[in-house]
């Protein structure tokens, strides 16, 4: 779950506790250009204040006006709002792009359920939210496994909330200190492994789990799956190679290693000669890891790694290139 959505739920709970009425908007579907993914959340307060986003600004004004009208109506039930135009209409209207957006608007979501959901998510747990649009009733259940984040059958919303992607970093250094919070803000649960006693890990956010076992044991315990990434940052072959030899045999969507092209070529040769990794397994290694931004400073290197991490993750979610532009309001 992305940080803006957690922030939206936190604001909603605080506003409800302060006596305000709120409405919750959830993106049900998108077509064409849409800057926020399915499942994104926007909370609207009864005075028009908002937290979160469903479109990056294209439809929020209309949605806020409509939500305030609905909240003023006693017993208002959830409803679906459709926005957008096709590309032909967009061209005729002089708009830069076309798109469609479906949003479920829920006036007065149950305060107790919102609090329970926020508590679970901020505690690192995952929840499945089921909403009946005809009654407005909620049901919260533990989310098992990694599945489709949202389903909508025309009446019932089933939404899985919480972190679905994981990142294991080898090395509690400055780069990890910058990369970990950025990755967390993009929806990753981050674990850092560093067995060296001199690396205190005090550059890491308190929410990051720090393991002190050897990298091969930490990687095995992490059990990378298709929604996981492993990146080594120590520049020490005695540590990095141990993690890589395990990670490259898993379904992890990205396995990367910091270092120059020369050092990574030498690393591939070692992994093949001493650990028996195949050519196909070594071909999965992203080394040097990170998009080529010409970066040399730790925060810039962290940005380059995060950019590659997101590019690989988003390619799994949607193989088609996304437009950077928002849909237009009808």
pLDDT in tens, 90-133: 343 333 455 688 999 999 999 999 999 999 988 778 899 999 99
Percent with pLDDT over 90 in the chain? 65
Q: For the segment 16-30, what is each residue's pLDDT rounded down to a tens digit?
A: 999 999 999 999 988
The per-residue DSSP string of 197-237 comes to TT---TTS-TTSEEE-S-HHHHHHHH---TTEEEEE-S--H
Rounded to two decimals, the pTM is 0.67
Residue ranges of the domains in the chain?
3-161, 165-316
Exposure b/e, 28-55, CB count within 10 A at least 16 = b:
bebebbbbbebbbbbbbbbeeebbbbbb
Task: State pLDDT tens for residues 173-229.
Answer: 999 999 999 999 888 989 999 999 888 777 888 888 899 999 999 999 999 988 899
The Cα 81–Cα 197 span in angstroms is 55
> What is the Cα–Cα distance from 63 to 81, expressed in whole angstroms?
8
Whole-angstrom Cα distance, residue 301 to residue 293?
Answer: 8
What distance in Å separates the CA atoms of residue 215 and residue 208, rounded to the nearest whole number?
Answer: 16
Own/partner contacts of 89-96, CB < 8 Å, gap of 24 or more, are 90/328, 93/328, 95/328, 96/325
Provide the 3-class DSSP secondary structure of residue 43.
Answer: strand
User: 136 CB contacts (<8 Å, ≥6 apart)?
Assistant: 77, 78, 106, 108, 109
> Could you please report the per-residue DSSP string of 114-126?
HHHHHHHHHTT--
Judged by phi (left if over 0) then psi (alpha if -120 to 50, else beta), residue 124 lies in left
Provide CB contacts within 8 A for 248, sequence distance 6+.
Answer: 255, 271, 277, 281, 282, 284, 285
The residue with greater pLDDT, 12 or 97, is: 12
pLDDT exceeds 70 at position 254? yes
pLDDT band for position 146 (cuts 50, 70, 90): low
Q: Are 115 and 168 in contact (CB under 8 A)?
A: no
Look at residue 87 and tell me whether its pLDDT is greater than 60: no
121, 162 Cβ separation under 8 angstroms: yes
Average pLDDT of the chain to the nearest whole number:
87
Looking at the domain that runs over 165-316, which CATH code has it been given?
Answer: 3.40.50.720
């Amino acid at each position: 779950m992305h940080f803006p959505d957690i922030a939206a739920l936190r604001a909603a709970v605080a506003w409800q506790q302060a006596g305000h009425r709120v409405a919750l908007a959830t993106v049900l579907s998108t077509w064409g250009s849409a800057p926020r993914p399915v499942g994104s959340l926007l909370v609207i307060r009864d005075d028009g204040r908002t937290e979160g986003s469903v479109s990056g600004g294209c439809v929020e004004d209309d949605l806020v006006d409509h939500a305030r009208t609905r909240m003023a109506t006693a017993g208002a039930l959830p409803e679906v709002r459709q926005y957008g135009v096709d590309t032909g209409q967009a061209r005729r209207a002089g708009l830069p792009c076309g798109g469609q957006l479906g949003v479920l608007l829920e006036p007065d979501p149950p305060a107790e359920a919102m609090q329970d959901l926020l508590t679970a998510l901020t505690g690192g747990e995952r929840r499945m939210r089921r909403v009946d649009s005809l009654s407005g009733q909620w049901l919260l259940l533990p989310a098992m496994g990694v599945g489709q984040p949202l389903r909508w059958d025309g009446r019932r919303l089933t939404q899985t909330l919480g972190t679905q992607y994981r990142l294991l970093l080898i090395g509690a250094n400055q780069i990890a200190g910058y990369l970990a919070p950025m990755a967390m803000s993009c929806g990753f649960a981050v674990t850092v492994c560093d067995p060296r006693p001199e690396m205190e890990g005090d550059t890491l956010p308190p929410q990051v789990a720090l393991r002190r076992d050897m990298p091969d044991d930490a990687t095995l315990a992490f059990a990378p799956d298709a929604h996981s990434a492993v990146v080594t940052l120590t520049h020490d072959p005695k540590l990095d190679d141990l993690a890589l030899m395990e990670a490259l045999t898993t379904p992890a969507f990205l396995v990367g290693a910091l270092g120059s092209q020369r050092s990574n070529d030498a690393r591939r040769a070692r992994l093949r000669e001493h650990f028996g990794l195949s050519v196909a397994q070594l071909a999965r290694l992203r080394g040097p890891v990170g998009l080529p931004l010409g970066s040399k400073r730790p925060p810039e290197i962290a940005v380059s790694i995060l950019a590659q991490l997101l590019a690989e993750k988003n390619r799994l979610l949607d193989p088609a290139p996304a437009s950077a532009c928002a849909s237009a309001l009808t």
